[in-house]
Structure 1
Amino acid sequence: MATRPFWAGHLKLSLVTCAVSMSPATTEADRIHFHTMNRRTGHRVIVQYADAVTGKPVADDDLVKGYPRGGDRYVLLEDEELDAVALESTHTIEIECFVDVGEIGWIWYDTPHYLMPDEGIGEEAFAVIRDAMRHTDTVGIARLVLYRREHAVLLEPRGNGIVVWTLRYGNEVRDPADYLPSENLPEPGQEELALLRKIIDGHTRPWNPDVIRDPVQTRLKGIIDARKRTLKRKPAAPLAESPAEGNVVNIMDALKASLKTSGKNRS
């Protein structure tokens, strides 16, 4: 069921403009959340700030943001100063340029949103912008104020609509040279690659979102449902033991064993 859009405005490309609305493409509505409770009374527990030195509670009016500047010294910033830095949304997504599909690496993609035309009169203009990107294999780049901050966003045609991805800021993406191997790894042999291709073929399936369901959430729901029914919960099945760390396995033997296993499973 469609939810109420959290953003409404206009999509603009040169002189072409249309009214649009946008909704988050992901949700955590089904994720289990807990409250902290008092075991003795069954009442919820409230959180209150306390002075780290005196231990005394701090009133809400005395709370202020602080930026560390070394030692126990801080730069204090009032709410009015932080509000002055925040940006007001202009509610216009104006496409500034286009880049080829795939030119922007996945690591820059942050949060996806669904963009759709907001009124019948703008559907044709929306479709023109969407299909033009699709036919030219390009994505649009724009700037948009969301959550009181300006974001570079990427517009990608998807089905009958457009997916708007907020892009990470430059200082949020770490340099891969600092984390990935600096030297080339040994080249695998053709025989190993051929066996691995067979294993991959045997494990290739159509995409199904059930593959990435959260098993912890499923177990928690089972526990909660059992408690609701006031029945004694059965002990969870033990997890399979992981191979001991540090074991050195011959890659060819492992590939051949995996291929045999996948063949038996197919049978």
Structure 2
Amino acid sequence: MVPRANWKGVLKIAEVICPVSLYTAASTSERIVFHTLNRATGNRVERQYIDAETEKPVDREDQVKGYEVSEGNYIELTPDEVKAAVPESDKTLAVSAFIGCGDIDDVYFDKPYYLAPSDRVAEEAYAIIRDGLREKKVAAIARTLLFRRVRTLLIRPHEDGLIATTLNFDYEVRAAADEFREIPDLKIKDEMLELAEHIIDTKMGEFDITKFDDRYEAALADVVKAKIEGRKIKPRKAPREEKVIDLMAALRESAGLGKSKDKAGSASRSGSRRKAG
């Protein structure tokens, strides 16, 4: 099945124009989905909007958008009034600047899309843009109207194509200081830091997403299969809680030094006893 483009337009850099299409790069459509059923009839349940005061159902044609100006007081907005806030679109993904690939904190990353040429005519311009970004080791910052909002996208080379990642707005990203202000400024002992660095060195590897499976999804599939086959579903045991008693001992154990040090200490104590005897 040919994937359907989420957006089509032109990528514009100065006077260079390249027709492009935007495709979803990450999707949850393959996850197991449950429906809500009526236990008595086995039929699916439909969702209804209920008036909070009268508790009566509200028909779709009687539903309007409202903004709460004070507690319990709303202003109503018609669909045309809401639509008036949507900017006009010329279907242009206009590049405003180029930045280093690592210059944006990834906390601002929202959703990735594949950005591909829309037709054969666009392929040469597309290749020039892709290879130029790769050679200079930079990403492009561009803006366009996407899903009713003007969105900023970070465009980077990816394999034979380009990845366009929508960026969160500044007001959407909470300040880190709000969560980190209570963390004390501790002075870590050199030995602890050396052990931590040793553990990191021994665990160094390469990122391979295929090694990270969705355990919940797999377990859910097993549960559904067991239910279909009429097998009994056994509840999972609660995981054992891990408690750190001695941080230094935990670091040594993680670094593979705990047991050897304990053995050396035992041997030393044993030798001392033999000499005393």
CA distance in 1 between counterparts of 2:111 and 2:259 reads: 40
Structure 1 residues 64 and 263, CA gap change in structure 2 (3 angstroms): farther
Equivalent residue number for residue 241 of structure 1: 240
TM, length-normalised to structure 1:
0.89
Equivalent position amino acid for 1:100 in 2: G
Unpaired runs of at least 5, structure 2: 261-277
Equivalent residue number for residue 166 of structure 2: 166
Check whether the contact 1:202–1:263 (CA below 8 A) recurs between aligned residues: no
Equivalent residue number for residue 207 of structure 2: 207
CA distance in 1 between counterparts of 2:258 and 2:167 reads: 40
Check whether the contact 2:249–2:258 (CA below 8 A) recurs between aligned residues: no
Structure 1 residues 183 and 4, CA gap change in structure 2 (3 angstroms): closer
Equivalent position amino acid for 1:252 in 2: M
Unpaired runs of at least 5, structure 1: none
Equivalent residue number for residue 141 of structure 1: 141
Check whether the contact 2:51–2:58 (CA below 8 A) recurs between aligned residues: yes
CA distance in 1 between counterparts of 2:182 and 2:229 reads: 56
Structure 1 residues 198 and 74, CA gap change in structure 2 (3 angstroms): same
Alignment identity in percent?
34
Shift of 1:190: 2.5
After superposition, what is the alpha-carbon deviation per residue over 1:30-87, rounded to whole angstroms, capped at 9, x for unaligned? 2121111001100001111111111111121111111111121111111111122123
The DSSP-based 3-state class of the residue aligned with 1:179 is helix
CA distance in 2 between counterparts of 1:241 and 1:226 reads: 26
Equivalent residue number for residue 106 of structure 1: 106
TM, length-normalised to structure 2:
0.86
Shift of 1:243: 2.8
5 Å-filtered alignment, 1:190-229, equals 190-229=190-229
Equivalent residue number for residue 127 of structure 1: 127
Shift of 1:203: 2.7
Equivalent residue number for residue 255 of structure 1: 251
Greater C-alpha radius of gyration: 2
CA distance in 2 between counterparts of 1:153 and 1:99 reads: 12
Shift of 1:89: 3.7
Q: Which moved more, 1:168-177 or 1:201-210?
A: 201-210
Check whether the contact 2:253–2:259 (CA below 8 A) recurs between aligned residues: no
Aligned length: 260
CA distance in 2 between counterparts of 1:67 and 1:261 reads: 62
Shift of 1:88: 4.6
Check whether the contact 1:202–1:262 (CA below 8 A) recurs between aligned residues: no
Shift of 1:149: 0.8
The DSSP-based 3-state class of the residue aligned with 1:260 is coil
